[in-house]
Amino acid sequence: MAKLKLQNVAQIRHAEINFGDLTVLVGAQATGKSILLQLLKLLVDTGYVQDELHRHGLDWSRQLPDFLNVYFGEGMESIWGTNSKISWEESAVDLAYLANRMRKRNDERLFFVPAQRVLTLRDGWPRPFTDYSPGDPFSVRNFSEELRLLMEEFSDDGSLFPRERRLKKAYRTLLQQHVFSKFKLTINRERAQKRLVLGARGKPLPYMVWSAGQREFVPLLLGFYWLMPPTKIARRGALEWVVIEELEMGLHPRAISVVLLLILELLSRDYRICLSTHSPQVLEMMWALKRIRERKGTTNDVLDLFETPPGLRAQLRHVVDRALGKRLRAYYFERPGGNVHDISQLSPTSTKKFEANWGGLSEFSEHANEIVARVTANS
């Protein structure tokens, strides 16, 4: 397992993450999850990151505070102090040295889908890297640039969804039901400007009239397109890692289930996945997969978990078979305190409250049950 240790970095006092095939980070806002994931991107893709920043005209004068502001975003130099430490794969990392020395460019190995992905589409078209402020995070700018490059794979006035050879038919069918309804995602032109529109009965609907969930999901869909090339090759280029922040944003629980099936697809292609989430549904899936495996459950049990229609199951059996054999890890980012706890067992009977309530994600449900039980007993 790859291992990342942090001490006194931003809000994180101590974290030791042993990454599985699927690793999920949970915790309240501003507990350091995104900073840890962006550090992971930097450590895996140091040369790529530095070269992309230089290629687009960004300079940090080889000083660590400037580099932190350029990479993480304006004002983020404060995440690093005299007591800050990082260890990656059992070796200490000197961030000041990293910022002061250009590394040889490497092919990108980690694909990062940021929480702010809705910002990547302006008037329905991916923004280029240089369209952002110099103080915006690298993760957002780079994701947006990669979506812009992806658009070059499609012809003008072409259909983006549903589209044969882009995602299995089972996924297209489920997404049509739970995200797009009767709409189709296409490229069209408004005067000289290309844009993405949703179409129904020949009437194009521009970006700003889409539902909030559709605006959040389309950049994520394009990210899945990037990761699943329409060839017999399972992965794109040298990519090995995938980070997706808050995959659930704007989505109904049934749509979240479809996205989780797509996560299993990525696992079946041997990507190593890292998620951050505020949705209990993500940990419920992990808990169910672990228990099904422990109790010698079958592929059909997992397909039942996702309420997969009979006609779609054949396409997904291999995906589920592969997912059942993957290593699953979960971590809770504590506040206050700043410690990160391993909750990978996801035991509802754990003596550690933060594990029993899955990092607080089931806390309100438990509290509501207690209040209703009390009221019922007193009535």
Per-residue pLDDT tens digits for 124-133? 999 999 999 9
DSSP state, residue 312: G
| C-alpha 165 chain-centroid distance | 23
What is the arithmetic mean of pLDDT over 182-194?
84
Instruction: Give the SS3 label for residue 131.
Output: helix
Answer yes or no: are the C-beta atoms of 323 and 266 closer than 8 Å.
no
pLDDT at position 332: 97
Q: How do beta strands 328-333 and 22-27 pair?
A: parallel
Report the alpha-carbon distance of residue 282 to residue 33 in Å, rounded. 16
Element (H, E) at 358: none
pLDDT exceeds cutoff 80 at 256: yes
Residues in the chain: 379
pLDDT at position 362: 84
Question: Would you state the structure tokens that stand for residue 254, as one six-digit string?
Answer: 């049934």
pLDDT at position 156: 64
The 10 Å Cβ neighbour count of residue 114 is 26
pLDDT exceeds cutoff 90 at 61: no
Question: Would you state the structure tokens that stand for residue 237, as one six-digit string?
Answer: 């280029």
87-110: per-residue pLDDT in tens?
999 999 999 988 888 888 889 999
Report the alpha-carbon distance of residue 199 to residue 124 in Å, rounded. 13
Per domain, the residue ranges of the chain are 3-346
Q: How confident is the model at residue 157 (pLDDT cuts 50, 70, 90)?
A: low
CATH fold, domain 3-346, is: Rossmann fold (3.40.50)
Q: 205 φ, ψ to 5°? A: -105, 115
DSSP state, residue 180: I
Report the alpha-carbon distance of residue 346 to residue 328 in Å, rounded. 10
Instruction: Give the SS3 label for residue 51.
Output: helix
Contacts of 365 (CB under 8 A, 6+ apart): 280
What is the arithmetic mean of pLDDT over 355-365?
85
pLDDT, the chain, mean: 92
Sign of dihedral through CA atoms 336, 23, 259, 210?
A: positive
Report the alpha-carbon distance of residue 137 to residue 334 in Å, rounded. 24
The 10 Å Cβ neighbour count of residue 37 is 25
End-to-end CA distance of the chain: 54
Question: Would you state the structure tokens that stand for residue 19, as one six-digit string?
Answer: 């990454």
The percent of residues above 90 in pLDDT, for the chain, comes to 75
- C-alpha distances in Å from residue 7, one per residue of 79, 193, 338, 353: 11, 48, 10, 24
193-233: per-residue pLDDT in tens?
889 999 876 688 889 999 999 999 999 999 999 999 888 88
pLDDT exceeds cutoff 90 at 361: no
DSSP state, residue 334: -
pTM of the model: 0.95
Tell me how far apart the 2 most distant CA atoms of the chain are, in Å.
71
Identify each DSSP E strand in 239-346 by its residue range: 241-245, 272-277, 328-333, 340-342
Report the alpha-carbon distance of residue 212 to residue 215 in Å, rounded. 5
pLDDT at position 102: 81
* Angle at which helices 33-44 and 138-151 cross, to 10°: 60
| C-alpha 377 chain-centroid distance | 43
Question: Would you state the structure tokens that stand for residue 149, as one six-digit string?
Answer: 């490059």
Report the alpha-carbon distance of residue 278 to residue 97 in Å, rounded. 35
Question: Would you state the structure tokens that stand for residue 377, as one six-digit string?
Answer: 């007993």
